Each structure stands twice: as structure tokens, then as C-alpha cells.
Chains A and B, each alone.
Chain A
Amino acid sequence: MRLIQIIIILFFSFAAFASPKVALLVSLDNPKHRPLFKTKKWKLSSELIEYFQKKMEKAPYELVIFDQADQETLHKELMNPDNIALFWISHAGSFKNKESGLGMEDVISDFYGKNLKDIFQLIHPNLRYLSVLGCKAEPILNTIKTAGFYEHNNELHIYAKTKNIFPKTEIRRSIDDFKKKFSTFSDINQSCPTHKGYPLHITRTIPLTVDPLGQETAVKILNRGRLLGLFPKAKPGETQSRTVYLTAESNYRAQDLKIVVDSGELSKDNPQLIGSFEISSPALNGNWKAFQDGDGNILGVTHNVYRFSGRPEIFQEATSFSSFDCN
């Protein structure tokens, strides 16, 4: 009995003093034109990682580093309850013309040419510092914040810039900023925020016979621009299942009941192995069907739409769910 007590005390002591994790995710290709005085072996991401490690030397945090990070890794690390800070370095771009009905989409792109700005919607409440080092990333994150996606991230400090940036300079500035703010971070709260919502059970199947040029891809599940979840990369013949939740609202309009499955691919010339989806929604009376052409082919190269057909009435009480893991 005494031994068990000692083990429990030791466990909690270690837990209390475990150093918080700081994640660095770099997702950059080498520039087309190598800068002067750089050898052929020069790699931009390696240089930045090395610089980051040097700047974070002797810091009381455990560094976790990912090179060529993709949307799956970003999602996993943003949702990781052990991370206190996350630094993301990639290309980005924000556009001003959004008022004419036709506009450029804001982009935070990764090494693989995927737009993963939506992934930044879901951030674990334990994360205290988010640094997005890409050009004009600040307006993109402001848009996400204004839309209410960070309602449970009251203590989150965001570092991003409205202008074009030079990565090394901004890494230095951001680390200095992080170190200053680190002492002000409050303790991590272990209780997870919950919401009310309606479950959607989604099964994704990649057929065995696929376009040989098709690329395996992770797929975001979106409803009205809101990220509900992410399916990881899947191979031909693979089946995956997930339950995600539509937020509870009293009046759903027909256009609200739409699910977009999006690979995030930016080029129309790279076909994606998105697969086909079966969606069931026990709280809604109706079916979900893919947007297809007259021959029954699912339309879309980088993303597809599934539309609800039926009466958009809710006949089950909303259930409580949490998007985060707080164990």
C-alpha cells in the first residue's frame, strides 16, 4: 500500500515538473533561385530549424520538430494537449478584394501544395502561443478569430504579420516575444470545453481501382466553412470512419446542411484520392448525396460536396461533445 502511495506521489511530481512542449513545424520547399553563397546542398528548412534550435537553447521546454509537416501533423499538434506553443513556418498569402462576389482565397500552404488555413480553426485550449510565420498571415488568423473559432482560447497569444516576412528575422522576433510572454502563461486547465451538437457518422472509402495519377491525401470535413474533423491519408482499398458534430442550431436552412470534403490541394492539375463518403445523421430525417453530374460521377477535383436531401428538421436532442482531448 505504501509502495503504491509512493509511486502515485512520484508520478504526480513528474507530471507537475514535466517540461512543456514547444512544437516547430516547418513546411517549406527550397526557393527556385538559390540565394547567393549557398551551396547546392543548402536546404532552407534545415537552416531555419537549426536557427530555431540555437535560439531556443537552454530553454526549459521540450522541443518537438517536424520538417515538411503536412496538414495531418499540423492538426495533430494543434490539438495536442501537451503543447504550450506552436511555431508554424510556411508560405502564406492574404487578399484584400473580397467584396465583389469573386475573390482570391486566403492561403497558408504547406510543402505539398495544400491550403491548410482551415486547420488553424481548431486549437487546443492548452496552447498558449501560436506563431504563424508566413507572409500576411495575420489577417487570415484574424478572420478565423473574428468568426469565433477561438472562443475557448482566451489565453492564446498569436504572433503573425500583416506584411511579407523574412523567416529568420521573424523566428528571432517571435522567439523573443514568446520568451517574454512565457512567464505570464497561466496553468494549464485540464477541463475540456464542451458543445452541443448533432452527430454525423462518416465513412470514407477509397476504391481499389483509382486514377493512377491520383495522390493519397488527408481530407478536411467542413460545414459552412467550419472544420469538423480531418480524415488522415488513405490508400486505395482503405476504409476510414469518424464521428463529427454539426453545431446545434434551431433552424437549419437547406444550404446549411452541406458537407464539403476538401483535400486542400491548390492545383487543379493534381487529382486527389478523396474517395467516396457515406454520411448518416441519426438526428436528421433524410439522406446525404454527393454532388454529381448526369452520369453519376462525383464532381470536383480537389474537393467534393455532399448535400442533405430531406426535410431539414431535427428530431433528436443535441448531444454534448468536445472537440478536444484533455486526458
Chain B
Amino acid sequence: MKQTFCKLLIACVLASCWPLKSEAAVGLIINSRATRVIGLVVLEDKSADLKFKELSLSQARLVGISEADLEIYHREIDELNIIKEVIESQTSHDSSEEEVKSLWNQFQSSLSPETMKVASQVAVYIFQHNITFKK
């Protein structure tokens, strides 16, 4: 019992001192049954992707989108996400605003003006309201 307690204590001290990076999501816990230190990994995915999504009518009103525009946006949402993906694949974090803008201009003819309008309204709304995407 005493030995088990000592092991637990040593493990706790090690766990609190070890410089673990939070992003690694590696934690240390004690397996109570075996009373030995084991490493456990949190199965959290960090590779999720931001996508344009459908809006309800009330949400659209909140953002200032008309019903007619919303319908066209919904019709082309898959294509809009494809263009967003293509632009992302051709740019990086270091790309300038002009580069990104020019790519959007290049591809916008593939979409209807209404879809582009709604997409920019959504983006502006998110920016203005400082909306973040939390798990």
C-alpha cells in the first residue's frame, strides 16, 4: 500500500513538472488498477476545416440577406466551397490580401453574383461580430 502510494506520488510530481505542450494533448494519468504510470492520448482531431454552410431564413435576415439571394447561395454552396478550397490550395498564410482577392476575382465568374454577395455578407458579419469557431 505504502509502495503504491509512493509510486502515485512520484508520478504526480513528474506529471506536474514535465514540460508538456498543450497542443500535443498528451496527458499523464495513473492506471489505478495496475498502479503504474501510463501515458494516455486524447483523441481530439485538430484538422477540421472551415466551410460555407446553409443558413435558415431567420439567420439570413440577421445577416441582411434577402430570400432570393439565399436560395441561389444554397443552390451553389458546394461550388462555393470548392472555389474556397482551390484558392486555399493556391495560397498560404504568407499570401497577401491582394493575391487572395485576385484569385477570388478570377474564379467568381464560375458563381452567380448573388452567391458571391451572400458569401461576402457572411464573412463580414462573422468579422464584425467577432464570431469564433469553438469545439
Contact A294 B37 (CB under 8 A): no
Which residue of chain B has its CB nearest to the CB of A168?
B40
Set of chain A residues within 8 Å of B122, measured between Cβ atoms: 100-102
With A102-B126, A268-B88, A293-B107 already in contact, the answer to whether A97 and B133 are too (CB < 8 A) is yes
Q: Which residues of A contact B83 (CB under 8 A)?
A: 299
Contact A92/B110 with A31-B26, A101-B63, A101-B122 known, Cβ cut-off 8 Å: no
Count residues of A near B (Cβ-Cβ below 8 Å): 61
- Which residues of the partner chain B approach A196 to less than 8 Å between Cβ atoms? none
CA distance A301 to B84 in the complex (A): 10
8 Å CB contact of A304 from B49, B82, B88: B82
CB-contacts of A73-110 with B (<8 A) = 89-109
Q: Are B110 and A102 in contact (CB under 8 A)?
A: no
* A316 CA to B21 CA, complexed, in Å: 60
Q: Does chain B have a CB within 8 A of A235?
A: no
- Known A33-B24, A93-B45, A100-B59; judge A300-B82 contact (CB<8 A): yes
Query: Within residues 40 to 84 of chain B, which ones have a CB less than 8 A from any CB in chain A?
Result: 40-56, 59-60, 63, 74-76, 78-79, 82-83
Q: Mark B6-27, 1 if CB is under 8 A from A, else 0.
A: 0000000010001011001111
B14 touching A31, Cβ below 8 Å: no
Q: Is the CB of A299 within 8 A of B26?
A: no
* B90-135 at interface with A (beta carbon < 8 Å): 107, 109-110, 118, 122-123, 125-126, 129, 131-135
- In the bound complex, residues from chain A placing their C-beta under 8 Å from that of B47 are 107, 109, 113, 266-267
CA distance A101 to B125 in the complex (A): 10
- Pick from B14, B18, B49, B107: contact of A104, CB under 8 Å: B49
A169 interfacial contact with B, CB 8 Å: yes
Pair A102/B51 contact, Cβ less than 8 Å: yes
Query: What B residues does A94 contact at CB under 8 A?
Result: 135
Known: A105-B51, A268-B88. A31 touches B82 (CB 8 A): no
Q: Which residues of chain A have C-beta atoms less than 8 A from B134's C-beta?
A: 95-97
Q: Pick from B41, B46, B125, B135: contact of A96, CB below 8 A.
A: B135
Question: What sequence of 0s and 1s flags, for each residue 120-164 of chain A, a beta carbon within 8 Å of any chain B beta carbon?
Answer: 000000000000011110000000000000000000000000001
Contact in complex: B125, A258 (CB < 8 Å): no
Q: How far is the CB of A142 from chain B (nearest CB, A)?
A: 15
In the bound complex, do residue A305 and residue B79 qualify as a contact, i.e. CB atoms below 8 Å apart?
Answer: yes
A sample of 26 cross-chain residue pairs with beta-carbon separation below 8 angstroms, ordered by A number, consists of A28-B41, A32-B24, A32-B26, A33-B26, A36-B18, A37-B37, A44-B41, A91-B44, A92-B43, A93-B45, A98-B53, A101-B54, A103-B50, A103-B51, A103-B53, A103-B133, A105-B50, A109-B47, A136-B44, A164-B42, A165-B42, A258-B78, A266-B49, A291-B110, A301-B85, A301-B89
Minimum-distance CB pairs A-B, first 7: A35-B39, A101-B122, A255-B75, A93-B45, A91-B45, A268-B89, A33-B24
Which residues of A are interface residues toward B (Cβ below 8 A)? 28, 31-38, 44, 89-109, 113, 133-136, 164-169, 253-255, 258, 260, 266-269, 291, 293-294, 299-305
Chain B positions near chain A (C-beta within 8 angstroms): 14, 18, 20-21, 24-29, 31, 37-56, 59-60, 63, 74-76, 78-79, 82-83, 85-86, 88-89, 107, 109-110, 118, 122-123, 125-126, 129, 131-135
